[in-house]
């Protein structure tokens, strides 16, 4: 999380110490388990240390819509410290390692550090930017290009926190189909298109990106919406300057 938040905001030794103090212990969550459910009133914010987690809504007929991916370094439900009740589920798409952070600790941390408070605001705004990009993809991108775009996003986010250098996508085919909102049969055709262009390969039942530049081009992937550079607005710079 320190590496993620430090992408855009310079964190002091004191800030890093405050972050270290959040992680007092972790626990395992198995693939398919819910970390927190819609309607719950949690006392903790959840931090992903390892694995892939998703935000999802379950329809009355049992169908599940995945509306967000959470990767190592991501906080799952920071907004619940304010809203108080979950309006969606947080579930593990793989075996995960999670940390529970009491709301009180989050409040104390943001009160004691203007930099960390701004960094958490940045992380929340990036989550919203990702959701906007997904909405654009669902409405305007063909499934094969949407898949290419999603694979690029996942790897870009992993690389930002020191993961993903092997260019292996940490999702199985069914999970990927669920995220894209298509059937497994449709996904098979979509992956066939990407394989035929030598953009990806299959390795150990996972997708290996073999041509990152080509995949970015095919998916029309522009990482600007991830805001991984160190460009803050003049207002944010003024606030940090105190």
| Residue 51 to residue 12: CA distance in whole angstroms | 28
Residue 23 has pLDDT above 80, yes or no: no
More confident residue, 219 or 239: 219
Residue 241 has pLDDT above 80, yes or no: no
Residue 195 has pLDDT above 90, yes or no: yes
Provide the H-helix boundaries in 161-223: 173-180, 184-196, 212-219
Q: How far, rounded to the nearest angstrom, does the alpha carbon of residue 232 sit from its chain's CA centroid?
A: 21
> For 118-163, how does the pLDDT look when each residue is reduced to its tens digit (9 = 90+)?
888 889 899 999 999 999 999 999 999 999 999 999 999 999 999 9
What is the phi-psi region of residue 227: left when phi exceeds 0, alpha when psi lies from -120 to 50, beta otherwise? left
Residue 5 has pLDDT above 90, yes or no: no
Binned at pLDDT 50, 70 and 90, residue 238 comes out as low
| Residue 48 to residue 62: CA distance in whole angstroms | 26
Residue 240 has pLDDT above 70, yes or no: no
At residue 80, the pLDDT reads 65
At residue 127, the pLDDT reads 93
Residue 47 has pLDDT above 70, yes or no: yes
Contact predicate 143/190, CB 8 Å = yes
At residue 64, the pLDDT reads 87
At residue 230, the pLDDT reads 64
Mean residue pLDDT across the chain:
90
Binned at pLDDT 50, 70 and 90, residue 192 comes out as very high
Residues 6 or more apart whose Cβ sits within 8 Å of residue 153? 130, 133, 221, 223, 226
More confident residue, 111 or 186: 186
Binned at pLDDT 50, 70 and 90, residue 191 comes out as very high
Residue 183 has pLDDT above 80, yes or no: yes
Token digits for 77? 């439900």
Across the range 8-24, mean pLDDT stands at 85
Query: Residue 4: which of 99, 70, 53, 88 has the closest Cα?
Result: 70
| Residue 223 to residue 120: CA distance in whole angstroms | 20
At residue 133, the pLDDT reads 96
| Residue 55 to residue 71: CA distance in whole angstroms | 11
């Amino acid at each position: 999380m320190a590496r993620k938040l430090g992408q855009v905001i310079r964190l002091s030794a004191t800030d890093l110490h405050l972050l270290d103090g959040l992680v007092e212990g972790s626990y395992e969550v198995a693939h398919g388990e819910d970390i927190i459910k819609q309607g719950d009133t949690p006392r903790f914010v959840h931090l992903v240390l390892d694995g892939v987690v998703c935000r999802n809504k379950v329809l009355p007929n049992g169908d599940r819509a995945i509306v967000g991916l959470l990767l190592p370094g991501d906080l799952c439900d920071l907004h619940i410290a304010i809203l108080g009740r979950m309006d969606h589920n947080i579930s593990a798409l793989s075996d995960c390692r999670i940390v529970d952070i009491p709301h009180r600790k989050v409040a104390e941390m943001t009160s004691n550090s203007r930099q960390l408070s701004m960094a958490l605001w940045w992380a929340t705004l990036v989550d919203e930017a990702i959701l906007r990009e997904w909405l654009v993809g669902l409405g305007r991108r063909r499934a094969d290009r949407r898949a290419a775009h999603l694979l690029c996003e996942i790897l870009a986010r992993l690389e930002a926190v020191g993961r993903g250098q092997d260019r292996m996508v940490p999702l199985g085919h069914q999970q990927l189909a669920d995220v894209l909102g298509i059937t497994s049969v449709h996904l098979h055709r979509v992956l066939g298109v990407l394989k035929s262009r030598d953009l990806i390969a299959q390795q150990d039942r996972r997708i290996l990106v073999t041509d990152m530049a080509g995949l970015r081009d095919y998916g029309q992937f522009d990482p600007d919406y991830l805001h991984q550079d160190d460009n803050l607005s003049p207002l944010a710079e003024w606030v940090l300057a105190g």
